[in-house]
Amino acid sequence: MNKQADNLSIGAFAETAGVNVETIRFYQRKGLLPQPDRPYGSIRRYGEVDVARVRFVKSAQSLGFSLDEVASLLALDDGTHCDEARQVAEEKLADVRSKLADLHRIESVLATLVDDCCASHGTVSCPLISALQEQRQ
């Protein structure tokens, strides 16, 4: 980035990072993004490092990391904690695989219930609703 990119207002910073101003303020409150000093009589300025940090947060979120997990990853970003970062990612991967297994189970049950609905024309009780009522009891 050029020198102008290291002198961004919060609005320009948010636009460059692809988020809105409230997201910047939220990340600051959560401790994910430092709040720069405000020179006397002036406004806070943001730079390339800040833009990269917000993009990192958004990228990690897109992989399913919570903001607390993102904060943990950011705390490990000094080049000496690769093993710990890998462990966080392995835990996330295990969580994703568990959720996928749950989704496959749900898909299978729903597919069976939909098939049952299609096969039971003329019956008084809907097989799908009956099956769900039985599971509640």
DSSP sequence for 2-20? -GGGGSB-HHHHHHHHTS-
Q: Which amino acid does the sequence have at 114?
A: V
pTM here?
0.76
- pLDDT on residue 120: 66
- pLDDT on residue 98: 98
Domain extents for the chain?
Answer: 1-65
Q: Give me the residue label for tokens 């769900």.
A: 132
- pLDDT on residue 137: 55
CATH class of 1-65: mainly alpha
Could you tell me which residue, 124 or 127, shows the higher pLDDT?
Answer: 127
pLDDT, mean of residues 69-90 = 92
In 3D, which of 91, 12, 18, 14 has the Cα closest to residue 59? 18
DSSP state of 106: H
